[in-house]
Amino acid sequence: MSVQLNELLKLDILSTFKVIAGFDGLVRNVCKVGILDHELGEHIDTNFIEGGEFVLTNLLFIKDDIDQLEDIVRRLIRSKTGGLAIKPLYIDSIPEQVLKIADEMSIQFSCTILSIMKILLLNL
């Protein structure tokens, strides 16, 4: 079963999520949740291959090199990720270039970045 990202965001548990890029991607279907906690480069390509994942991360693994976020977002877009939620514990802001990529690609692939994340208990 899959559900559109915009429908997920209507759930009470997600009421504090704030979409900051990729608005056209809100119609993407999400069929599962994935955790991005250490993957970089080709590891993203091999671990997020099925598409439709709502990816959660706090970016701890790149907190000292936020420039890697652009590559991560591009790879998640190629993997047809349904959405990306970033809990801002270790970074202060998302680089403007990353937001621009998410906006430009959202019509075709979508990479909706959410700036606040709660613990999710979803039955998809």
Contact predicate 86/113, CB 8 Å = yes
Q: CA-to-CA distance for 86 and 17, rounded, in angstroms?
A: 10
Please say if the pLDDT value at position 121 is more than 50.
Answer: no
For the domain that residue 37 is a member of, what is the CATH number?
A: 3.40.1390
Count of domains for the chain: 1
User: In this predicted structure, what is the pLDDT of residue 114?
Assistant: 65
- Domain annotation covers residue 120: no
- Domain annotation covers residue 124: no
Q: CA-to-CA distance for 48 and 91, rounded, in angstroms?
A: 23
In the predicted model, what is the mean pLDDT of the chain? 80
pLDDT tens digits, residue range 72-92?
888 888 888 888 888 888 888
Contact predicate 20/100, CB 8 Å = no
The model's pTM: 0.81
pLDDT tens digits, residue range 90-117?
888 888 888 888 888 874 444 566 654 4
User: In this predicted structure, what is the pLDDT of residue 15?
Assistant: 78
pLDDT band at 119 (very low <50, low <70, confident <90, very high): very low
- Domain annotation covers residue 110: yes
Residue 110 lies in domain: 3-114
- Domain annotation covers residue 122: no
* Averaged pLDDT, 9-35: 85
- Domain annotation covers residue 67: yes
Token pair of 113 as six digits: 């970045």
